[in-house]
Amino acid sequence: MPKPALKYSEAAISGLCTASSTILSLNVAFLGLWAFADKQANTHWSRLDYLILAIAFLGFCCLAATPWCAPSPHESAPTALGARRARACFCAGVSLTLLWIGLAILESVFD
């Protein structure tokens, strides 16, 4: 007998999307602080700086895609697949965020 599709509450999906947008806005603020306040106008960016920037933008894309991957609360029965995709995007975005912020801090300390 097939298992019935799991239903997720609207609050869980809404909370995931809200957390994603909050972390995305904090990312943008930290990127502005790191890229423009920490780097002076006469300093050339190294390859590590561009790598950090690329990781940051990948994290931004994952976090921004979370609401689009999440099932709509107006669907008759939101399935586990949409919530799983949204959760995977969110986890990838948070992991990439932690990675690029850690690299940026280490690069600033040892530079």
| pLDDT in the model for residue 56 | 95
Nearest CA to 62 out of 19, 98, 91 is that of 91
| pLDDT in the model for residue 73 | 60
- pTM listed for this prediction: 0.81
- State the Cα–Cα distance between residues 72 and 95, nearest whole angstrom: 25
Q: Is the pLDDT of residue 102 over 80?
A: yes
AA identity, residue 61: C
Q: Which of 28-37, 73-82, 84-93 has the highest mean pLDDT?
A: 84-93
Q: Is the pLDDT of residue 13 over 90?
A: no
Q: Are 49 and 110 in contact (CB under 8 A)?
A: no
Both structure tokens of 17: 């999307």
Average pLDDT, integer, range 86-94: 93
HSE value, Cβ hemisphere, 13 Å, CA-based, for 14: 5
Both structure tokens of 75: 């669907």
Each residue of 50-71: pLDDT tens digit? Answer: 999 999 999 999 999 998 888 7
Tell me if residue 36 falls in helix, strand or coil: helix
AA identity, residue 30: F
Q: Is the pLDDT of residue 38 over 70?
A: no
